[in-house]
Chains A and B, each alone.
Chain A
Amino acid sequence: GAVVSQHPSWVICKSGTSVKIECRSLDFQATTMFWYRQFPKQSLMLMATSNEGSKATYEQGVEKDKFLINHASLTLSTLTVTSAHPEDSSFYICSALQGVSGRARQETQYFGPGTRLLVL
């Protein structure tokens, strides 16, 4: 269980275009999903917390108008990189929060396989 998919896995686009990345929880419902960015040889950097049916909460320094997040259902969150530029090239990875029945506070983030974005 606890499978999260992410699509696409790879995307190459021209500067100025927008790119949409989908994150789906396949076998559980997730009211909360997270979007991260990871630079080479570094740890994960949280971009935003996505809650189903409400606006995402962005971390300091993350432009909400550039990185649009929509969590329209309990199994799908999308990240749209608008007007992408070469500095947006990175590895983007999402996670979905799954609770553990009978184990309070053991909610665990399960991750998708990630999306490598290259903006030319």
Chain B
Amino acid sequence: AQKITQTQPGMFVQEKEAVTLDCTYDTSDQSYGLFWYKQPSSGEMIFLIYQGSYDEQNATEGRYSLNFQKARKSANLVISASQLGDSAMYFCAMRELDSNYQLIWGAGTKLIIKP
């Protein structure tokens, strides 16, 4: 079974609209971390946001927020007021306890912002 599932291979969103990128995960660990990265066409992986499994509040970083629903095992990324520069691949990743800091990656979602 896949540990990280991103069900949206691609999304088109109008500029200035909010967008939600889905991510569900599967783990039996109680302690784990969830990450979102952005990969523009240049190839660099840019860290966006982190959510710890014990964090009581949803993480926020500027226009990025993470809708963390622990019981549903989902960690959706919300981008508010989308911009043309948000067009990129977005990857959800999880780090489990005792994983030697390795990340388990989702397949990614290609987001295209339309002007």
Q: How far is the CB of A89 from chain B (nearest CB, A)?
A: 14
A-B contact count (CB 8 A): 55
B100 with A109: CB separation less than 8 A: no
A105 with B106: CB separation less than 8 A: no
Asked if A95 is at the interface of the complex by the 8 Å CB criterion, the answer is yes
The residue from B46, B50, B101, B105 contacting A44, defined by CB atoms under 8 A apart: B105
Q: How far is the CB of B32 from chain A (nearest CB, A)?
A: 9
A43 with B44: CB separation less than 8 A: no
Mask, B79-115, CB within 8 Å of A = 1, is 0000000000001000000001111011110000000
The residue from B33, B46, B106 contacting A43, defined by CB atoms under 8 A apart: B106
A91 with B43: CB separation less than 8 A: yes
Q: How many of chain A's residues have a CB under 8 angstroms from any CB in B?
A: 26
**Which of A69-77, A79-87, A112-120 sits within the interface?**
A112-120
Contacts of B31 in A (CB 8 A): 105
B91 with A43: CB separation less than 8 A: yes
B102 with A46: CB separation less than 8 A: yes
Q: Known contacts A44-B91, A93-B45: does B50 contact A49 (CB below 8 Å)?
A: no
Chain B residues at the A interface, C-beta cutoff of 8 Å: 31, 33, 35, 37, 42-47, 50, 52, 91, 100-103, 105-108
